[in-house]
Chain A
């Protein structure tokens, strides 16, 4: 069974339809990259997977999104626990105005995951370690998160997402605001995290998609044009449109 199974998904902002009849299966522990020109709906689609679009009053969803076989758009869905299971990392790093420790501890605390203080410490350290940030911050855990560099802040946000033990991680252009070295660290991290998590990553960077993903999905004008193994997408895609896009002929 697929980890995530989307069928016939339509999405509307008010009267404007942003996603048209999208169906896609994502198996466990796969990295899938969403590419496409700006405004093609890839971020919107990403945000339907943890119901982040619920915060937009005029948003409306039709169709089905199954995660572990359960439709997340059913009326009785516990959105908070869904989002705990489907973590998210945003385009711009967004640490809380708290210490490094408290940033990572936040999700653990609100979900009551930890047994005691010692357990909380262990969980925070593990998350920071998994986000490849522990060595850089272990001596200043109680200082403000805003003292970190942009790349470090983004890895902190990844650590914060990992600390609540999600099963899926959604990444919305996680490296687009970072320099090449920080970007490389994030990419290495994605490859590392794949061993444990199912990862959906939206990116504008074709090379990034090629480097980190198993499969790539190409979106355009709210439609899923093609989804195939990344290797095939970049060398011999089925659709002419995909080829034009990945080779840089438009977009």
Chain B
């Protein structure tokens, strides 16, 4: 091999381009390092949170062990703490919220992207995003003064009359409880799901719609094709909404009734993990009480973690089926 064809056989002066190239490589290294640090910070924050929460709830973890998760009694006076009613309240209110919010959100998003004229779609999309910016406590007040009376006087008696044979709609219609909590959560997560689904639908290539229309499809059939394109993104949007619903604190605390019980009836008051932490943290006297509340936080963290993990798997499987 002649020296001309080997890289290291060249003198510095021969190719001035060699130098900046090496600088670039150094730059790339710094760039890569900086990005790695950013990624590591996220991981560290997560680990640090788990560590601190585990440490602060150590007393409770040691005292109740696994029994904390299935315990149904929450009695600070006797020093007895069980998380099950709160886990139940959190999950049921969040799922209720999703059941109500998902079809509405997808409907609104489809309307905005596929049907509404531009002159209407823009202000409406803005309005939807504005809804997401309203403080949670305002939703709570509205729920107490507007939503709860309406439910108590009209909706709950109606449900009782028509679907009263189901255990979900029995008991006293007070307007305060799981159903109202679920509805207010639904109203709060609808703007988020709508906004994300709208973005996803807008990202579906026009060529997909044209392909469908060109085969003689109607608007409805074409919309189904668009939704098929967006399915994994929509699943992601729903998960985002679920995460919000699980973690939402203020509004639901004001309306769900705050009674730690597991009742099949949606009319009965309930309690969520986030609510109990917010309500009782300042008045938690005694180390065990405080420790039990922190363990609630740990559980909320894990529940969110598991729900998001499962949802990611769901999205992946949907994506694999369609792509």
Contacts and interface: CB of A to CB of B under 8 A. Distances in A.
B117 A87 contact: no
A164 B215 contact: yes
Given A83-B216, A87-B215, A97-B228, A52 B210 contact: yes
B244 interface: no
Interface in A131-175: 144, 146, 157, 160-161, 164
B172 interface: no
B211 interface: yes
Contacts of B228: 96-98
A80 B218 contact: yes
Nearest to B206: A55
Interface in A38-80: 50, 52, 55, 57, 80
Interface in B222-257: 225, 228-229, 231
A74 B208 CA distance: 27
A88 B207 contact: no
B215 A161 contact: yes
B118 interface: yes
Interface residues of B, number: 22
A100 B207 CA distance: 18
A57 B117 CA distance: 8
A92 B206 CA distance: 11
Contact of B208 (A80, A82, A96, A146): A96
Most buried by B among A96, A144, A161, A164: A96
Contacts of B322: 97-98, 144
A2 interface: no
A118 interface: no
A157 B214 CA distance: 11
A80 B213 CA distance: 7
Q: How large is the interface on A (under 10, 10 to 19, 20 to 34, 35 or more residues)?
A: 20 to 34
Contacts of A83: 213-216
Given A57-B117, A97-B322, A157-B211, A107 B229 contact: no
B216 A107 contact: yes
A164 B208 contact: no
Interface string B68-84: 00000000000000000
A129 to B, nearest CB: 19
A110 B221 contact: yes
A22 B229 CA distance: 38
Interface of A: 50, 52, 55, 57, 80-84, 87-88, 90, 92, 94-98, 106-107, 110-111, 144, 146, 157, 160-161, 164
The 6 closest A-B pairs by CB, nearest first: A84-B216, A107-B215, A88-B214, A94-B207, A97-B322, A80-B216
Interface of B: 117-118, 205, 207-218, 221, 225, 228-229, 231, 322-323
26 contacts: A55-B209, A55-B210, A55-B213, A80-B216, A80-B218, A83-B214, A83-B215, A84-B216, A90-B211, A90-B214, A92-B207, A94-B210, A96-B211, A96-B228, A97-B228, A97-B322, A97-B323, A98-B322, A106-B212, A106-B215, A107-B217, A110-B215, A110-B221, A111-B216, A161-B214, A164-B216
